C-alpha cells in the first residue's frame, strides 16, 4: 500500500494597509511577530502616511510599498495583493492584533475546505480601548458576527482571507468605494459568481481603535450606512445576515414609529401608551443583545447601550431613506439624458418602451423600499 502524501500547507501573505497607524500599528506588527507559524510574508502598504508608519513596518521586517498620497484602503490592499506570493491573501487592518494561532487557523481552514473561496472572522470580546463607546461598538460587532450564519454573504477587510487567484479573477477591490464598503461589495461579487464565503467564529482579532461619539457616528453613517444602502439598491437584494437581519429591520421601523408617537404626545396625551408599548417592543426584540451586554459588562453597561443602539437604528433608517432618494434621482437623470439624446424618429418608434422604462426607473427604488418594509412587518 502506497502511503498517502500529506497535503502541503498553503502559503499565507498578510497584507496591511496603513495611514498614520501610530502605536496601534506597532502593536499589530508585534502580534504578527508572535504568530506560529509566521506568515509567508507581511506586506505593508503605506497609504500616504505622514507619521513614518512605513519605517515602523521596515523595523519589523515587513515588505513595504509606499503610496505618495492617500488613495484609500481598497487601492492599498490591491497593490499588496498584486505583488503577494502567497496562495492565500490575509487582509488585516492596522489597528488590530491577531492571536498566535491566527495564521495557522487560516491556512488549516483553506487546506481542509478546498472549495472555500474566502474566510472572515470577527473582533474578540475584549476590545483594546477601555472607554464606553469603544467597548459598546466592538462588543456589538462581536455579537453580530458570533450570532450570524457561518455561510457569509459579505467579506471583511479587517480580518478576511481569500485565495489569491480568485481575488484577482473577480477584479480585486473596486477602488471607487474609497474608505467605504469595498470589502462588503467584494463579498457580493463573490457570491454572485458562485463562490463560498465562510464566517469562522473562532477566528478572532482584537480591535484597538478608540471610538468617540463623533468618529463613530461619522463612520457608521457616511462610510457604512449610506454606501451600504447604495449597494443594496443596486443589487436589489437584502440578505438576512449580519446587520441586515430581520430583527434589525423591524427595529428600524419601531424606532421611527416611536419617534412619531413621541411627537404625538404634544397633542394627544394617550400617545404615551404607544410610546411605552413601542419601547417595550424594542427592548424585547433586542433582548438577546442586551443580555449579551449584561453578561459581558454588567447591568449598568447594558442599560447604557440602549440609547446608542436605538440611535444606530435611527440613522441606519435615515441613511436608507436618503439612499432611496439619491438612487431614484440618479436613475431619473439617466432616463432624461437618454430621452434628450434620442432622435424624433426613435422617440416615436419606441414611445411605449421608453415611457415604461422611465416609469420603472422612477418607481423601482420606492417599490423595493416597500418590499423591505413588508419583510419587516
Residue ranges of E strands in the chain: 12-18, 41-47, 63-67, 88-92, 96-97, 116-123, 159-163, 196-207
- State the pLDDT at residue 304: 97
- State the pLDDT at residue 357: 43
- State the pLDDT at residue 332: 63
The neighbour count for residue 329, using CB atoms within 10 Å, is 12
- State the pLDDT at residue 178: 67
Give the pTM: 0.83
Radius of gyration of the chain (CA): 24
- State the pLDDT at residue 235: 67
Could you tell me which residues come within 8 angstroms of residue 155 by beta carbon, excluding any fewer than 6 positions away?
118, 120, 162, 183, 184, 186, 187, 190, 197
CA distances from 113 to 117, 142, 199 (A): 9, 24, 13
- State the pLDDT at residue 211: 96
- State the pLDDT at residue 234: 73
- Joined together, the cell numbers standing for residue 291 give 443580555
- State the pLDDT at residue 244: 58
Look at the block and give the residue holding cell 414609529.
257
Q: What is the DSSP string of 15-32?
A: EEEESS-HHHHHHHHHHH
- The low-confidence residues of the chain, meaning pLDDT below 50, are 1-6, 238, 240-242, 334-336, 338-340, 342-377
Domain extents in the chain:
12-211, 243-376
The neighbour count for residue 340, using CB atoms within 10 Å, is 7
- State the pLDDT at residue 362: 39
CATH architecture group of domain 12-211 = Alpha-Beta Complex (3.90)
Amino acid at each position: 500500500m502506497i502511503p498517502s502524501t500529506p497535503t502541503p500547507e498553503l502559503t499565507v501573505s498578510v497584507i496591511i494597509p496603513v495611514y498614520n497607524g501610530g502605536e496601534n500599528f506597532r502593536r499589530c506588527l508585534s502580534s504578527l511577530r508572535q504568530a506560529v507559524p509566521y506568515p509567508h510574508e507581511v506586506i505593508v502598504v503605506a497609504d500616504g502616511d505622514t507619521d513614518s508608519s512605513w519605517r515602523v513596518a521596515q523595523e519589523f521586517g515587513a515588505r513595504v510599498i509606499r503610496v505618495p498620497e492617500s488613495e484609500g484602503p481598497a487601492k492599498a490592499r490591491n497593490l499588496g495583493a498584486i505583488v503577494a506570493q502567497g496562495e492565500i491573501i490575509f487582509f488585516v487592518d492596522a489597528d488590530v492584533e491577531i492571536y498566535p494561532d491566527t495564521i495557522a487557523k487560516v491556512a488549516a481552514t483553506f487546506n481542509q475546505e478546498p472549495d472555500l473561496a474566502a474566510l472572515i472572522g470577527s473582533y474578540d470580546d475584549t476590545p483594546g480601548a477601555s472607554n464606553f463607546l469603544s467597548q459598546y461598538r466592538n462588543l456589538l460587532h462581536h455579537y453580530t458576527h458570533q450570532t450570524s450564519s457561518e455561510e457569509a454573504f459579505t467579506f471583511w477587510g479587517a480580518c478576511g482571507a481569500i485565495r489569491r487567484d480568485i481575488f484577482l479573477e473577480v477584479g480585486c477591490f473596486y477602488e471607487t468605494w474609497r474608505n467605504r464598503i469595498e470589502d462588503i461589495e467584494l463579498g457580493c461579487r463573490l457570491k454572485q459568481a458562485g463562490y463560498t464565503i465562510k464566517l469562522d467564529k473562532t477566528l478572532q482579532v482584537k480591535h484597538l481603535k478608540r471610538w468617540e461619539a463623533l468618529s463613530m457616528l461619522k463612520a457608521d453613517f457616511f462610510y457604512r450606512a449610506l454606501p451600504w444602502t447604495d449597494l443594496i439598491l443596486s443589487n436589489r437584494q437584502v440578505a438576512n445576515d449580519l446587520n441586515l437581519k430581520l430583527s434589525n429591520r423591524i427595529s428600524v421601523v419601531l424606532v421611527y414609529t416611536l419617534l412619531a408617537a413621541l411627537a404625538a404626545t404634544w397633542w394627544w396625551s394617550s400617545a404615551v401608551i404607544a410610546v411605552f408599548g413601542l419601547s417595550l417592543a424594542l427592548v424585547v426584540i433586542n433582548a438577546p443583545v442586551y443580555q449579551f451586554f449584561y453578561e459581558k459588562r454588567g447591568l449598568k453597561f447594558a442599560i447604557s447601550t440602549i440609547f446608542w443602539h436605538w440611535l444606530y437604528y435611527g440613522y441606519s433608517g435615515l441613511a436608507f431613506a436618503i439612499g432611496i432618494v439619491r438612487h431614484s434621482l440618479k436613475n431619473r437623470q439617466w432616463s432624461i439624458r437618454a430621452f434628450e439624446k434620442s432622435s424624433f424618429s426613435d422617440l416615436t418608434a419606441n414611445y411605449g418602451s421608453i415611457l415604461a422604462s422611465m416609469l420603472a426607473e422612477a418607481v423601482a427604488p420606492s417599490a423595493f423600499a416597500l418590499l423591505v418594509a413588508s419583510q419587516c412587518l
